[in-house]
């Protein structure tokens, strides 16, 4: 699993951090998403797919 985030689309909603806190964080200054792990282990795949599904800006892409 490879993850790509689009910082230009991100609206700093933080839903991804709630869904997958091991993979996503937010910048302190403006809340824009920070990708902690672009190749997360399989055990986190469900969390990551959930994060992508709930992101209101569709800023998270998953490339298998």
What whole-number distance in Å separates Cα of residue 13 and Cα of residue 54? 10
Per-residue contact string for residues 22-61; x = within reach of ligand SF4 by CB under 6 A: --x-x------x---------------------xxx-xx-
Count of residues for the chain?
64
Q: Are 44 and 16 in contact (CB under 8 A)?
A: no
Nearer to ligand SF4, 5 or 48 (CB): 5
Query: Is residue 20 a contact point for ligand SF4 (CB under 6 A)?
Result: no
Nearer to ligand SF4, 31 or 45 (CB): 31
């Amino acid at each position: 699993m490879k993850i790509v985030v689009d910082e230009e689309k991100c609206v700093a909603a933080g839903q991804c951090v709630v869904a997958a806190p091991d993979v996503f964080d937010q910048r302190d200054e403006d809340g824009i998403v920070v990708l902690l792990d672009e190749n997360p282990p399989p055990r986190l795949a469900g969390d990551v797919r959930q994060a992508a599904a709930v992101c209101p800006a569709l800023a998270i892409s998953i490339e298998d």
